[in-house]
Structure 1
Amino acid sequence: MGITLAVIATLAIAVPTAIISSIAPPKHARVLTPAVLPVIPKAVMPPVEPVSLAAITPDDARAINATVPFTAAPVPAAKPFRLTDAPLGSLRAIDCLATAVLYEAGDDPIGQRAVAQVVLNRVRHPAFPKTICGVVFQGSERRTGCQFTFACDGALIRHSWNDAAWDRARAVAREALSGKVFAKVGYATHYHTDWVVPYWSASLDKVSAVGTHLFFRWTGWWGTPPAFNRQIASEEPAIGQLARFSPVHSIGLYPFASQLAATRAERLAALLAAAYAGPGPIAGDDNAFLVTIDRDADPEGLPRLAEAGCGDRPYCKYMVWAERYALPTALPLDPSQVATMAFSYLRDRSRGFEKALWNCDQFPRADRKQCMKVQTFVPGAQLADRESKGPVTPSPVGEKITRASAANPLPEASAIPPQKPVPTPPTP
């Protein structure tokens, strides 16, 4: 009886293996079967192997891929990913992610969303780089070994997409970086098209198919949601390969603004404004923006960011802080929030008024007229009353003036005629 059971067990393993072998491609192609899946323990970081493909025909690859079953385990959706970088970092992340989805999935929004989700999953996983651009261009410093082949096979030099396709890819990237989840791929960290067979494909759990792409996650603990809890880095690197497509990737690689040729500086300013996808207006006031920036951001670019954020609004207030902890979430502002403001921009086209001012303690200016004035503050009990009256008169304290209100920080109280009160946002 024992011998009979042993024979049956042997056949149960040998027969499926023989079937898979009969379908397999030529002997030079290495193919792993589900029977040899390694499970990497939690104490060992899984290796991120370079892309290496079995030398087989597309038809053989499809036959092999079809023999690998989808996992029977649950495939939970990833948590929403929301990028909180400063404007320059956000723009770089958007363009890196847009490049990845466009070159990996073509001008296909569904495939692009699936690829974007894999990139975000990798950023959250400790086995990969901590930035969007770092993940997309991982291995690009080598001739071989890129995680995304377009990053090291010359595709970015040989080919570029039309503006409409680029805009659509950037829209997919912005959505993914703003919390939109592509649930079907779950926590997948790998994928490939069905006409190739990477050597790692049978060592991972196959979770889903989207079009011609197959998606995989690591086996064991490293493929579960708790493994994707890594804190990402706050700054995105400048990628030289993208400088010709993305002006934000030329900043830091080449001399900025004043040292650029006039035509390049103008193009950079125009594209920065067109590309800027900063935060929307605050709740309750479509004309007011509260924004945080990187403390190392170039102060010369702030007016362009403000103008791009305000768009074509005839009236707009754009207020910037360089410290994330100091960023207000609503109006009115309290005195400490006004005092820590790094930059302010006010536009009121009905009065022909437009002005940008810097906090010169944070961003020194050669022209002191561009500096915010020193302020005095009104006790909280009187603040609401002042907010309803628009601009206020200079305080009795010598050269110091008080802004029109903490909720409506004007560049200078005397810049707007007192007979036309400046609109203030409703109290949230």
Structure 2
Amino acid sequence: MLLVMSLGLLAAAWVVARTDPVLPPQTVAQGRPPTPPPAVEPLELKAVAPQDAVAINAAVPFSTAPNPAARPFFLASSSPDYARSADCLAAVGLYEAGSGDADGQRAVIQVVLNRLRHPAFPKTICGVVFQGSERSTGCQFTFTCDGAMRRIPSADAWGRARAVAEQMLGGHVYTAVGNATHYHTDWVVPYWSASLDKVTAVGTHLFFRWAGWWGTPPAFRNHYAGGEPAIAKLAGLSEAHRGNAVQMADGTATPVEMTANPVLLARYDKTIVRDGDSFIVPFGRNASPDSFPSLALAACGTLDHCKVMGWAEIAETPRSFPIDPAALAGMSFSYLRNRKTGFEKALWNCDEFDRADKRDCMKPRTIAAQETRAPRAGKERVSLQDLRTALLKPTPEPDAPVAMPPRPKAKPIPMATDEP
């Protein structure tokens, strides 16, 4: 009973904590912005247990003000921005709502389109989706900066999300969310939720709009700017986001977003060493370690099995396969994907780049002096298993004479005689 009362009091306090002022009706009616657009805050959560968050969120009432539907958004399929826009919407719908929830995907995509028209947000679809994604604490949609995109969806799941995105670009409106610009799951409590109007729930997601004039239809007056940026983080899923091609050592061209790693392109002659489904990537010291997975995904493209090994020091980067075991000690980053088994893993050399999650760290490598030899002629590939075996092989001791124990003297054997 005390727990229920405590949660009720906490929820009540949450409602009272609203800081957005109530505007006079004539201000809204006149359609004039009363203040500059609200600040766009990153998603920061209160330290509340999930079960308590559900109770707090349930106790906050839905707004009783009108909830008009947003205007339809149209983008012609012939537009040069269409493919990138559709893939950005498919990604936000899939990663935020899940692969099996089409309505949840539509609701999330509607929020993106609402933001696009609001002066507080960027004027391109991909700009809205990936706003702040370059910082782990600044992203607007958590999937863009929390590592979720390392999980590659199945082709079927991606196709379904892409179909929903195309439907929304064709003018479909998910009316339930109205002009909502924010949402969160009901098991978390963001700092900003106390100052917004809760308008609806779709599954476990709660949708909000700004209180006052900035949440009304006249505020959504921005026009789509076009010129969608290529997003390196989508290179593994989207051909439209792979940008320009980087010439490989074997003569093939692997698409890589040109802005993903300018150091690679400017200082290493745009060359990534490739052997089948394995890649050697020179990142360069000026590249951010958070950009390494993006370039790895770009190099792998649509390969079901892919292995990327990267070095931050250009001079220490191997120039060909097989790789000398000694060079592996200086490897800065590795990425391995096997879609058939559902395995995908990115690891950093934490002696070079500290990671908050130590599970992202490589195991230290120690190379014995006698193993720093040139690779055998004629061998075209080297497997990780061969390298592990070589690295873990104990150092043989020099031959030495073995002392043998002395042989015992033979006891005399009595002989048979004819004597009685």
TM-score by length of 2: 0.54
CA distance in 2, matches of 1:259, 1:114: 45
State the AA in 2 paired with 1:118.
V
Partner of 1:192: 184
Question: 1:88 aligns to what SS in structure 2?
Answer: coil
Q: Is the 8 A contact 1:117 1:181 kept in 2?
A: yes
**Is 1:163 paired with 2:145?**
no
Partner of 2:323: none
* 1:58/1:260 CA distance change after superposition, 3 Å: farther
Shift of 1:67: 1.5
In structure 2, the gaps of 5 or more residues are 24-32, 256-420
Shift of 1:38: 0.8
Question: 1:36 aligns to what SS in structure 2?
Answer: coil
* 1:210/1:149 CA distance change after superposition, 3 Å: same
State the AA in 2 paired with 1:212.
T
Looking at secondary structure, tell me which structure has more helix per residue.
1
Partner of 1:145: 138
**Is 1:90 paired with 2:72?**
no
Question: 1:53 aligns to what SS in structure 2?
Answer: coil
Aligned length: 241
Larger Rg: 2
- Of 101, 106, 119, which residue of structure 2 is paired with 1:126? 119
CA distance in 2, matches of 1:260, 1:44: 55
CA distance in 2, matches of 1:227, 1:56: 33
- Of 212, 217, 223, which residue of structure 1 is paired with 2:215? 223
Question: 1:96 aligns to what SS in structure 2?
Answer: helix
* Map 1:361-380 → 2, pairs under 5 A: none
CA distance in 1, matches of 2:153, 2:5: 44
1:317-372 Cα deviation digits (max 9, x unpaired): xxxxxxxxxxxxxxxxxxxxxxxxxxxxxxxxxxxxxxxxxxxxxxxxxxxxxxxx
CA distance in 2, matches of 1:235, 1:260: 33
State the AA in 2 paired with 1:109.
A
State the AA in 1 paired with 2:183.
Y
* 1:161/1:233 CA distance change after superposition, 3 Å: same
CA distance in 2, matches of 1:92, 1:31: 43
* 1:21/1:105 CA distance change after superposition, 3 Å: closer
CA distance in 2, matches of 1:176, 1:187: 15
- Of 57, 68, 76, which residue of structure 1 is paired with 2:49? 57
Partner of 2:386: none
Shift of 1:211: 0.6
CA distance in 2, matches of 1:89, 1:140: 20
**Is 1:38 paired with 2:20?**
yes
1:263-299 Cα deviation digits (max 9, x unpaired): 747xxxxxxxxxxxxxxxxxxxxxxxxxxxxxxxxxx
Question: 1:216 aligns to what SS in structure 2?
Answer: strand
Question: Runs of 4+ in structure 1 displaced over 4 angstroms?
Answer: 18-23, 258-261
Question: 1:168 aligns to what SS in structure 2?
Answer: helix
Shift of 1:88: 3.4
Partner of 1:238: 230
**Is 1:24 paired with 2:14?**
no
- Of 236, 241, 249, which residue of structure 2 is paired with 1:249? 241
* 1:21/1:63 CA distance change after superposition, 3 Å: closer
Q: Is the 8 A contact 1:31 1:202 kept in 2?
A: no
CA distance in 2, matches of 1:199, 1:20: 20
Shift of 1:87: 3.9
CA distance in 1, matches of 2:129, 2:164: 15
Shift of 1:36: 2.7
CA distance in 1, matches of 2:250, 2:80: 18
* Map 1:178-217 → 2, pairs under 5 A: 178-217=170-209
Partner of 1:68: 60
Question: 1:32 aligns to what SS in structure 2?
Answer: helix
Question: 1:233 aligns to what SS in structure 2?
Answer: coil
CA distance in 1, matches of 2:250, 2:17: 59
CA distance in 2, matches of 1:242, 1:198: 27
1:6-64 Cα deviation digits (max 9, x unpaired): xxxxxxxxxxxx96765539xxxx97324534138632210110000011111100111
* 1:136/1:82 CA distance change after superposition, 3 Å: same
The percent of aligned pairs where both chains have the same amino acid is 58
Q: Is the 8 A contact 1:23 1:64 kept in 2?
A: no
**Is 1:103 paired with 2:85?**
no
State the AA in 2 paired with 1:220.
G
* 1:140/1:99 CA distance change after superposition, 3 Å: same
Question: 2:225 aligns to what SS in structure 1?
Answer: coil
TM-score by length of 1: 0.53
State the AA in 2 paired with 1:75.
N
Question: 2:158 aligns to what SS in structure 1?
Answer: helix
Partner of 1:117: 110
Q: Is the 8 A contact 2:7 2:56 kept in 1?
A: no
Q: Is the 8 A contact 2:109 2:165 kept in 1?
A: yes
State the AA in 2 paired with 1:148.
F
* 1:42/1:99 CA distance change after superposition, 3 Å: same
